[in-house]
Amino acid sequence: MENYSLLLSNLTAADAGLYCAQITMQTSTEFSCYTLQVFRQLRNLRITNHTRLSEIGTCEIHLTCSVENSNDSLLRWHVVGNTSIKEANLTISWDPKNSSDQKYTCIAENPVSSIAFSVSTQSLCKGVLNTKNHPDTKWIIIVVTAILMCIIITIGLFVWRKKGCLWRTGIFHFSTPQTQSPADTIRNLDYVSVSPGNTVYACVTHPNKQTNIPTPVKSSDFSTIYSTVHQSKESKPISSRTTALDSVI
């Protein structure tokens, strides 16, 4: 029996299909059919990933493997433990606290070529883990602003309370010109203290009521009357208030 061979050249993807050959011999005729497939060299293997940090602190990774002219190729993932997953998509949950770095390899292959590309969990999760360790700048600004506002309000309340005390003690007390009679002046004397040197210090406050006297008497914020009382030889108890009143009258 003679041998026959068929040689096809310059094939393209459009040449793929079913081909039948008729072989005629002296005593018989045979038909043989063949399915022609045209494969190309694989290239441009790509891995896209979507990574996020879960609420429990694990890194959730979703990987997608793709290759140019994927219609005539097989995509699979090679994972830890020599496990092969014949899918283009892969989802991983990696705990950086309890697991070491792991490598995942995407493999694309066809009868004439094979290419692979690997990624590691640590490199994929680096971005989201850094975001967790570094707080958002927006929250830092909000916290600092709130602290500054609290400090400003505290200082304002302190100054306001201090001014209130000064007003009550009469240091910042302003009044309009008023007149008063000697009797009213005596009634409004507020004695502060009597020093050992027989000097009486009296603070004159404003009268309780005004009198219509043509000549106004200018009053300041507060006035002090210094009166010297000569101590008599007789040891009689003298009231400091009576002495001051006599001196004023």
pLDDT score, position 71? 73
**Of 32, 34, 13, 12, nearest in space to 23 by CA:** 32
What confidence tens digit (pLDDT) does each residue in 147-177 have? 999 999 988 888 887 776 655 555 544 444 4
- Separation CA 186–CA 106 (nearest Å): 105
pLDDT score, position 242? 47
pLDDT score, position 106? 94
- Separation CA 172–CA 226 (nearest Å): 23
pLDDT score, position 9? 83
pLDDT score, position 248? 46
What confidence tens digit (pLDDT) does each residue in 106-124 have? 999 998 899 999 999 888 8
Q: Between β-strands 199-204 and 223-228, what pairing exists: parallel, antiparallel or unpaired?
A: antiparallel
If you count them, how many residues does the chain have?
249
Give the pLDDT of the chain (249 residues) as one tens digit per residue. Answer: 466 677 888 888 888 899 888 888 888 888 888 898 888 888 899 999 898 888 888 889 999 999 987 777 899 998 877 788 888 999 988 888 887 888 999 999 998 899 999 999 888 888 777 655 545 566 678 888 889 999 999 888 888 877 766 555 555 444 444 555 555 544 444 444 444 555 544 445 555 555 555 555 454 444 455 555 555 555 445 455 444 444 444
**Of 83, 89, 91, nearest in space to 121 by CA:** 91
Q: Cα torsion at 93, 97, 101, 103 (round to 10°)? A: -10
- Separation CA 89–CA 175 (nearest Å): 87
Q: Does domain 46-133 have CATH number 2.40.340.10?
A: no
The segment(s) of the chain belonging to CATH 2.60.40.10 are 46-133
- Separation CA 92–CA 83 (nearest Å): 14
